[in-house]
């Protein structure tokens, strides 16, 4: 696949995951480093997220889990929104966090649940 | 729920996840620390794994992801087997590892794929 | 032990560790996920913290160390307060952080010491 | 080498790395824990940074990489400034972050690039 | 304090923590990098472990906790032996691991308990 | 750039970094997951390592640092060899590990130095 097509595939996948507002925020990286941005879109969302075998919902289960485990809470918020966008329910998201509690300990689970609570509240309003 | 029932629920879930041989191996912990063993069974497999909302297959997606992310390769082998036991295919397991590559980097993904290759080979034989 | 008793034991331990104000703040999790809250109280504080063999002060030494090591600074503040509540001195707490410097490196030790300074100052006022 | 000389060597190195303003900020630790401060200066900057074999610029490549990998973003800002002070270019710094993307995954790389963008902008103004 | 005294203080502390056999094994690092060895002895054991405020037993509680949390199992064995040497009981060591289970999750706690079991067994024989 | 060219660029870079023997070992992953292998070659070595701005020697400084920091010792051996192949000296490699000691703590630095000692010895023989 040519680079241009990989980039297009990545943008298409991002549209399914993230709202226009979130994507605008993510483009801040494009202003700083167009090369990192190109890799995120073409490799991260084009090569990886656009693959078959796992659905977008299953991929967000993986993404939420790895973000919680590595303590990358800075990126958790947009992926909590993405998880809801691709069909995971609030109950399922909270269940992922509960499952993580046994595997990464309570501190990171509690931190994640606090952010999830904020994201859920923001959507209700 | 009483403690005895939590323990029984945990043992039942472990039977669905792990072969008799694997469970025998895990009981090594019981000999060293009966208290940690009781927590693993009652809390880990009784309270957490036995909950609804997520299937065992979905829970193993989370477990594999967190083990790869935290570099807990010592425990990865038995959960790769559990993942196969509860219905994940080899293709799905490899896809989880590939998805992780973008989120935790290649070194841990490569390490995980090497162990997955060994587990898959052991089953074929 | 029945679940109700585990929960009661957890609440009792939390009263020894945390001020009413801190406990009110922690209950934010209860509003989001009653199930995670139940696990934190019954398992975290009931099953684990309420055990014998180690004093609450010794347990806070462990808790502070693991929070610093895993970079879980979000939870460090309340456990610095808990450490003081169960009898650790400021000098001992700073000594824990200094010991950690050799084991986790200066960046996390410096981050922890900055937060400790804020907590100590808040108490003096 | 006597302790006094190690401390002096550390202060000299810190002057090469950090602006007066940054050093004033770092001295907040000195107020909280003079002992940790002494270790940072004498051991961190005196014993380690003042060694030969690697230049200050090469050392900042290592420092930036380890901070990104361990998610110690709290300390990243001052070391991005130090990296520029000892001669790394913005392009080289962004390239370090891009290289890290393949080794630690995108979430931490994106977080780091966002902070780098802020630091670069602050310098231009 | 002069460097020579820091080194002597470090060696003295190491004698209290580690058996002659363990110290011989640790000296493998001295053959590869005399400079890293000097830092381990003078800074790690001289500057840090030889300080007051915390006992050697308390310091080993911290060391075991940080090693388990960061998954540094390669170094856990010698510090389990050190912990026993400075007066921690097997029950206390297992309790540290159990406390960690709630804070870092079961996988690392189980790995640590397995190694503890081996160390305890080796001593009994 | 087309995918085929990215893959070719990656293979070319790998030849500069790794001996034939090491590359044969790495191809074990190709047998398990051709797709992960393609990503490692095309993205990891083609898109990232083949970029300008940083030399291969500088990239190996970053790679060694991130592997040590994340405890990915399984992959350290081949990158220690790569570091020597692209021109870093043993003294520089040991200096990287010493610098890391201050940033990630002694346990991981000691583990890394032990592996470095083995790699250096293997080359001398």
> Measured between CB atoms, which of A1, A2, A43 is closest to F43?
A43
**DSSP for B46-113, written as a single string:** IIIIT-SSS-HHHHHHHHHHHHHHTT-GGGHHHHHHHHHHTT--HHHHHHHHHHHHHHH-HHHHHHHH
The residues near F64 (Cβ < 8 Å, ≥ 6 apart) are F76, F79, F80, F83, F93, F96, F97, F112
Please name the residue that has the structure tokens 């001669």. Answer: D87
Question: Under an 8 A CB cutoff, do C71 and A71 touch?
Answer: yes
Residue E80 pLDDT: 98
The number of C-beta contacts closer than 8 angstroms across D and E is 15
pLDDT on residue C122: 85
Residue of D nearest to C100 (CA): D36
The alpha carbon of residue C13 is apart from the nearest alpha carbon of chain D, in Å, by 30
Cβ-nearest to A102 among B48, B54, B65:
B48
What is the ipTM score, two decimals? Answer: 0.96
When pLDDT is averaged across residues B4-24 and rounded to a whole number, the result is 96
DSSP state of B2: B
Name the residue in chain B with its Cα closest to that of F70: B71
Collect all residues of chain C within an 8 Å Cβ-Cβ radius of residue F98.
none
Average pLDDT over residues B32-60: 97
pLDDT tier, E3 (very low <50, low <70, confident <90, very high otherwise): confident
Tell me the per-residue pLDDT of A55-65, one tens digit each, with 9 for 90 and over: 999 999 999 99
Note the pLDDT of residue E123: 81
pLDDT at residue number F123 = 81
pLDDT per position as a tens digit, E73-84: 999 999 999 999
Q: Do A72 and D117 touch (CB under 8 A)?
A: no
Does residue B125 register a pLDDT over 70? no
CA distance E69 to E103: 8
Residues of A with CB under 8 A from a CB of D: 28-29, 31-33, 35-36, 39-40, 44, 66-67, 70-72, 74-75
| A106 with E106: Cβ contact below 8 A | no
What residues of chain E have any CB closer than 8 angstroms to a CB in chain C?
Answer: 43-44, 48-49, 51, 53-54, 58-59, 61-63, 65-70, 91-92, 95-96, 98-104
Indicate yes or no: CB of D106 within 8 angstroms of CB of B107: no
CA distance E108 to chain B (A): 7
3-state secondary structure chain A: CEHHHHHHHHHHHHHHHCCHHHHHHHCHHHHHCHHHHHHHHHHHHHHHHCCCCCCHHHHHHHHHHHHHHCCCHHHHHHHHHHHHHCCCCHHHHHHHHHHHHHHHCHHHHHHHHHHHHHHHHHHHC
pLDDT band of residue E124 (cuts 50, 70, 90) is confident
For residue C98, which residues of chain D lie inside 8 Å, CB to CB? 33, 35-36, 39
Whether residue C33 and residue A94 make contact (CB cut-off 8 A), yes or no, is yes
Per-residue pLDDT at E125? 65
Using an 8 Å CB-CB cutoff, list residues of chain E that contact chain F: 28-29, 31-33, 35-36, 39-40, 44, 66-67, 70-72, 74-75
Residues in chain C with pLDDT < 70?
1, 125
Which of F29, F44, F72 lies at the smallest CB-CB distance from B108? F72
Task: Please state, for a pLDDT cut of 90, what percent of chain F lies above it.
Answer: 94
Contact residues on chain A for F51, CB-CB shorter than 8 A: 35
Given its phi and psi angles, is residue A2 left (phi above 0), alpha (psi -120 to 50 degrees) or beta? beta
Please tell me which residue of chain A has the smallest CA distance to D117. Answer: A32
pLDDT for E116 beyond 90:
yes
* Contacting residues of A for E106, CB less than 8 Å apart: 102-103
Mutation site, A63, A65, A72, interface D, largest D CB count within 10 A: A72
Report the gap between the CA of F105 and the closest CA in chain C (Å): 4
Percent pLDDT > 90 in chain A is 94
The stretches in chain D having pLDDT less than 50 are none
Answer yes or no: do A73 and C74 touch at CB < 8 A.
Answer: yes
CA angle B6, B7, B12 (to 5 degrees): 100
Contacts of A65 in chain B (CB under 8 A): 61-62, 65-66, 69
* Model pTM score: 0.97
Task: Work out the pLDDT band at A1, boundaries 50, 70, 90.
Answer: low
Checking if the pLDDT of E27 tops 90, the result is yes
Mean pLDDT of the residues in chain A: 96
- Chain D residues in contact with E39 (beta carbon < 8 A): 43, 47
| Span B86-103, average pLDDT | 98
Enumerate the residues of chain E whose CB falls inside 8 A of the CB of residue C66: 65-66, 68-69, 100, 103-104
What are the residues of chain F with a beta carbon less than 8 Å away from any beta carbon of chain D?
43-44, 48-49, 51, 53-54, 58-59, 61-63, 65-70, 91-92, 95-96, 98-104
Q: Can you spell out the DSSP letters for chain F?
A: -BHHHHHHHHHHHHHHHS-HHHHHHHTHHHHH-HHHHHHIIIIIIIIIIT-SSS-HHHHHHHHHHHHHHTT-GGGHHHHHHHHHHTT--HHHHHHHHHHHHHHH-HHHHHHHHHHHHHHHHHHH-
Residues of chain F short of pLDDT 50, as ranges, are none
Contact A117 C44 (CB under 8 A): no
Nearest residue, CB atoms, D109 vs list A31, A36, A67: A36
């Amino acid at each position: 696949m040519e680079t241009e097509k990989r980039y297009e595939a990545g943008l298409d996948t991002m549209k399914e995951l993230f709202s226009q507002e979130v994507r605008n925020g993510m483009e801040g990286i494009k202003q700083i480093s167009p090369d990192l941005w190109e890799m995120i879109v073409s490799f991260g969302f084009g090569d990886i997220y656009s693959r078959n075998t796992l659905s977008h919902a299953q991929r967000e289960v993986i993404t939420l889990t790895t973000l919680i485990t590595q303590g990358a809470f800075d990126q958790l918020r947009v992926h909590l929104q993405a998880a809801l966008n691709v069909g995971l329910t609030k109950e399922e998201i909270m269940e992922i966090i509960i499952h993580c509690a046994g595997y990464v300990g309570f501190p990171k689970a509690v931190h994640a649940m606090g952010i999830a609570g904020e994201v859920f509240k923001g959507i209700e309003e």
